[in-house]
Amino acid sequence: MPPTVSLLIPAHNRADFVAAAVGSVIRQTHRDFELLVWDDGSSDATAAVAERASAHDPRVRVVRAPHAGVCAAINAAARQLTGKYFGWVDSDDAIAPTALEETVAFLDANPGVGMVYTDYLTMDEAGRVGGLGSRTKIPYAKDRLLIDFMTFHFRLMRRDTFDRAGGVDESIPGAEDYDLCLRLSEQIEIRKLARPLYFYRVHEKSISTEKRLWQIMQSKEAVSRALRRRGMDEQFEIDVELVGRFRLRKKNA
């Protein structure tokens, strides 16, 4: 019998963090889930670390695949999952112990909702928890999503919702989750559960740090596509404002 929830951790060269991500799923109070860790051709020990972290849990599988990029990894992995609800956890992040219990209960109680997302807390490279993340403080609205990505982690959606959307768009890496949320907002009802159930790690090797400008331009493309789909492109176009911030740090001795 298929599990209630299918979770995915797509991972590439995250040996330092993937055990924490896997462990946070294994510790869920909602026990009826499957977890697939999809190692996207890592050149480090990511797969081995994930295997050790989940060695005694039959609900967890680790797949070692050739490197194809995160979008292809999500779609390929999703085809191997069978749960009623679907979501993913980034390999350098983690979820709170009640994340599945609370989001599953919300979707069960609200059959007209196709996806639920939650508040999140930031954490540093060492796992020290900071404050409440700012993105989800913005109230959700379909049109507001065009300029603010407030449907940030954690997201749990009905599997048929993900399938009808055609999965993530592999032509827009770096903004695949934003693009998916924009497309879903045009098809389903999305609601927020105002509970901080996701831990978003801020560190120097994250994509949002290393490839920030590229990710911003990919997000711009996602919005431009949404404007065209919604028939709004003759009235609006997206402008990007890059804000410079500076800080001083001590030089290495």
Pair of tokens at residue 232: 């709004």
Residue 94 β-bridge partners: 199
Indicate the pLDDT class of residue 207, thresholds 50, 70 and 90: low
pLDDT tens digit string along 10-58? 999 999 999 999 999 999 999 999 999 999 999 999 999 999 999 999 9
Sequence-distant (6+) residues with CB within 8 A of 41 are: 12, 65, 66, 67, 68
Predicted pLDDT of residue 130: 94
Which of the 8 DSSP states describes residue 137? G
Indicate the pLDDT class of residue 206, thresholds 50, 70 and 90: low
Indicate the pLDDT class of residue 248, thresholds 50, 70 and 90: low
Distance CA 235, CA 226 (A): 13
Evaluate whether residue 238 is within a structural domain.
no
Mean pLDDT of 205-228: 85
Name the average pLDDT for the chain. 94
Indicate the pLDDT class of residue 241, thresholds 50, 70 and 90: confident
Predicted pLDDT of residue 208: 61
Evaluate whether residue 247 is within a structural domain.
no
Q: Which helix (H) or strand (E) holds 7?
A: strand 5-11
- Count CB-CB contacts under 10 A for residue 23: 12
The pTM score is: 0.92
Evaluate whether residue 219 is within a structural domain.
yes
**Does 242 have pLDDT greater than 80?**
no
Mean pLDDT of 100-125: 98
**Does 249 have pLDDT greater than 80?**
no
**Does 246 have pLDDT greater than 80?**
no
Predicted pLDDT of residue 209: 62
Mean pLDDT of 155-159: 98
pLDDT tens digit string along 120-150? 999 999 999 999 999 999 999 999 999 999 9
Evaluate whether residue 252 is within a structural domain.
no
Evaluate whether residue 63 is within a structural domain.
yes
**Does 164 have pLDDT greater than 90?**
yes
Evaluate whether residue 235 is within a structural domain.
no
Q: For residue 189, what is the domain's CATH number? A: 3.90.550.10
Of 193, 199, 26, which is closest to residue 104 (Cα–Cα)? Answer: 193
Say how many domains are in the chain.
1
Domain hosting 80: range is: 5-229
Mean pLDDT of 212-236: 93
Evaluate whether residue 111 is within a structural domain.
yes
Mean pLDDT of 156-180: 97
**Contact criterion met (CB below 8 Å) for 32 and 108:** no
Mean pLDDT of 192-215: 85
Of 41, 42, 46, which is closest to residue 22 (Cα–Cα)? Answer: 46
Burial class (CB in 10 A: 0-12, 13-18, 19+), 41: middle
Evaluate whether residue 244 is within a structural domain.
no
